[in-house]
Structure 1
């Protein structure tokens, strides 16, 4: 049985939100949209809001203009996020076109800033979108898996980060869940196409179900993304979702719900690691 202190902690709810919009090459307009949604999140007492991949700059197909518009982590975009987070005492997650050490490429980075206005966590996309006729790796430096899993805490809930195409690689989500993450935030720019919306919904729910965690997937709205942002609980239940246009969504989450689901479905504890962990040297051992 949990102690009285643990019971209070488990029964606490946290309001989380997503701001779905379509970033453009107009950086000030992108920040205006973000500011609008942060204010709405504050009005609803949200502790966390997640924005799409490439929130700082997007102009359709990748090209040299992205490299030219890449910013350092201490640049204007992240500084503006820090001011908003501090003003509203909120955690903000957003996609950044970030500078890299390679002159003709940039880093597809997700940054989380906290209520003190400082960066809490960053994540650079590991699985680049070289599929469905796209070649993200032509312009983007692939992120590394070295170091601890990318995570930070929001009111007692551990939040992990990954990005868009990473959804198709369940081992990445499992890695951060094994590090204690209870909510996975996924900024995305999910490109449309045959069955792509079906893939998006299925994969988001699958990552929640198989890991018994919450998943908050924030997508870009049309014309460059399918929208369809959603927040899913540890049983795969969609708690909040939106359509293709720019929109705001929010819901309450709780550690008690995770505890209930894991009591009924202790799949994480039942894994046969002696069966599923590949032998040393196997090609499937690393991402």
Structure 2
């Protein structure tokens, strides 16, 4: 079993130090509650709505921001996933880092950029399967809009992912509410996996966020959820064995390979 914490976070645009401090406090609180993993939102380190400042704040994966995230992970004995702006050569990617103490960080780059705002700031990566191991489970990573394309989730599930972690910046509004209320649970059910969808809280200079972070199980149920856009630290215990009947009864992945 793995205990996960999801930080529905009020990021401060352009203030990496303040955002890292908020993640550090959440890591301490999550570790004290027995969590193995803390997940923070998309672009949690810079703030999603920081605009052109994101370009100035972008760092390579071996830069000071991820180094500090590793220090927080090491000090609190907890793995962390958090979104950041990654500078890679001449490109800036909307990325998420997985850090776990002294282990080499894993980095996933968003493949499906949403809207003119993101396309003006970032370079889209080719779809890829970023997989890591933690507490005996295989974790995959996507970012926000990526999860809305079923092919991305199915690719990770076929690669053996048992949990998909999705840092997001879901805006408030009818479509955002539909995605949170329906799509995330469907993605979990149709792939017989857990999906953790972790959003921003409140609003920033450019966007108002839906909140509504949630963790869905293989049977399509919610095992943890925020009902609003307030800042919140959410916990869920991930136990694959508890959903064995659902996994056996809905063998989509097994039957897909027979086609």
Could you give the per-residue CA deviations for residues 99-125 of structure 1, whole angstroms, max 9, x where no partner exists? 1323xx521001000132531x21100
Are 1:46 and 2:35 matched, yes or no?
A: yes
Are 1:192 and 2:172 matched, yes or no?
A: yes
Q: Is the 8 A contact 1:191 1:225 kept in 2?
A: yes
How far 1:195 sits from its partner (Å)? 3.4
Could you give the per-residue CA deviations for residues 134-175 of structure 1, whole angstroms, max 9, x where no partner exists? 4411211001235xx201011101010000011210000100
What's the RMSD between the two structures over aligned residues?
1.6
Could you give the per-residue CA deviations for residues 194-218 of structure 1, whole angstroms, max 9, x where no partner exists? 3321222211111101001001111
> Where do residues 252-267 of structure 1 align in structure 2 (5 Å cutoff)?
252-267=237-252
Aligned length: 253
Q: Is the 8 A contact 1:81 1:117 kept in 2?
A: no
Counterpart of 2:253? 268
> Where do residues 149-228 of structure 1 align in structure 2 (5 Å cutoff)?
149-223=129-203, 224-228=208-212
Counterpart of 2:46? 57
Are 1:241 and 2:225 matched, yes or no?
A: yes
Could you give the per-residue CA deviations for residues 263-282 of structure 1, whole angstroms, max 9, x where no partner exists? 121121122664xxxxxxxx
Counterpart of 1:141? 123
Are 1:78 and 2:60 matched, yes or no?
A: no
In 2, distance between residues paired with 1:61 and 1:81? 20
SS at match of 2:174: coil
- Scaled by the length of structure 1, the TM-score of the pair is 0.84
In 2, distance between residues paired with 1:58 and 1:71? 14
In 2, distance between residues paired with 1:61 and 1:70? 11
Larger Rg: 1
- Scaled by the length of structure 2, the TM-score of the pair is 0.92
In 2, distance between residues paired with 1:217 and 1:194? 17
Unaligned runs of 5+ in 1: 1-12, 275-287
Counterpart of 1:94? 82
Counterpart of 1:108? 94
SS at match of 1:112: strand
Distance 1:253 1:32, change over 3 A: same
Unaligned runs of 5+ in 2: none
Q: Is the 8 A contact 2:127 2:152 kept in 1?
A: no
